[in-house]
């Protein structure tokens, strides 16, 4: 027996013993169907082949959707873990000064943002001198600034978090980062009865990191934890 005949015999035995090798290979199956169509002639319409082509196209769409759903699930899980780590790190400090320094350093690094600013409205013309050491994070503002910056009061859940490009008219909020921050997440803060509102700004040099249309559930959760921490420090 020639080598070609021997190889053909071995291939035949292999296919018979493991037919899934052929059935599960879409390229091989497509080639077999095309070969069969050529034998039937141009005047014969094979409806089975048409149905298989349609089923194959539908399967491709389902696989694409499946991969998209899995990718979104992994991305959401990664985002959830990121927020959880940031929350745990934010709860570590034992003093307000450490809390602010930690916010602008380790918490910002976990959230992968380039700038974190806490804006607190106050009636006082002068702030406590001890806060000067954390001035790169904390900024005092006159009443009404936060509402103006948000374009109105953040009195509902949908306005709790705002994602958008940075308004260049608000450069003073980002201090030394005024020329680099391109997009921001703005979290409105309700600091409890008797306290003026606050605002947490997360700025990024990437213009696409924060934009309208992104989900805000995780940042809403982070903002809720941050509010409760601030109420404790302001009590």
Nearest to 204 by CA among 188, 218, 176, 185: 185
Spell out the long-range contacts of 21-29 with Cβ–Cβ below 8 A and sequence spacing 24 or more: 26/56
Alpha-carbon distance of 147 to 154, in angstroms, equals 7
pLDDT of res. 131? 42
CATH top-level class of 93-234: alpha beta
pLDDT tens digit sequence for 129-168: 444 445 578 888 888 888 888 876 655 544 589 898 887 6
Mean pLDDT, range 200-216, rounded to an integer: 88
pLDDT of res. 12? 77
- Kind and range of the H or E element at 219? helix 217-234
Q: In 3-state terms, what secondary structure has residue 33?
A: helix
pLDDT tens digit sequence for 16-63: 787 777 777 777 777 776 666 666 656 655 666 667 777 777 877 887
Asked if the model's pLDDT at residue 68 lies above 60, the reply is: yes
Q: In 3-state terms, what secondary structure has residue 125?
A: coil
Report domain extents, the chain. Answer: 93-234
pLDDT of res. 127? 47
Pairing of strands 138-141, 161-165: unpaired
pLDDT of res. 50? 66
Mean pLDDT, range 105-111, rounded to an integer: 92
Name the pTM for this structure: 0.65
pLDDT of res. 25? 75
Mean pLDDT, range 206-220, rounded to an integer: 88
Mean pLDDT, range 90-115, rounded to an integer: 90
Of the pLDDT bands very low, low, confident and very high (cuts 50, 70, 90), residue 107 is very high
Between 70 and 163, the higher pLDDT residue: 163
Mean pLDDT, range 82-98, rounded to an integer: 90
């Amino acid at each position: 027996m020639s080598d070609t005949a021997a190889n053909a015999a071995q291939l035949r035995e292999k296919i018979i013993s493991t037919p899934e090798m052929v059935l599960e290979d879409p390229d091989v199956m497509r080639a077999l169907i095309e070969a069969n169509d050529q034998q039937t002639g141009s005047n014969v319409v094979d409806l089975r082949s048409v149905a298989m082509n349609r089923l194959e196209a539908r399967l491709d769409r389902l696989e694409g959707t499946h991969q998209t759903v899995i990718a979104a699930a992994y991305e959401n899980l990664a985002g959830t873990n990121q927020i959880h780590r940031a929350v745990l790190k934010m709860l570590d400090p034992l003093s307000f000064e450490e809390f602010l320094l930690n916010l602008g350093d380790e918490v910002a690094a976990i959230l992968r943002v380039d700038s974190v600013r806490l804006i607190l409205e106050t009636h006082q013309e002068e702030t406590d001198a001890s806060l000067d050491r954390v001035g790169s994070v904390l900024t005092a503002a006159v009443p009404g600034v936060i509402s103006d910056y948000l374009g109105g009061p953040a009195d509902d859940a949908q306005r709790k978090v705002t994602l958008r490009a940075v308004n260049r008219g608000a450069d003073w909020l980002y201090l030394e980062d005024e020329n680099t921050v391109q997009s921001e997440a703005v979290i409105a803060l309700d600091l409890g009865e008797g306290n003026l509102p606050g605002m947490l700004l997360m700025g990024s040099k990437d213009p696409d990191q924060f934009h309208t249309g992104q989900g805000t559930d995780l940042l809403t959760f982070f903002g809720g934890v941050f509010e409760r921490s601030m109420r404790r420090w302001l009590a």
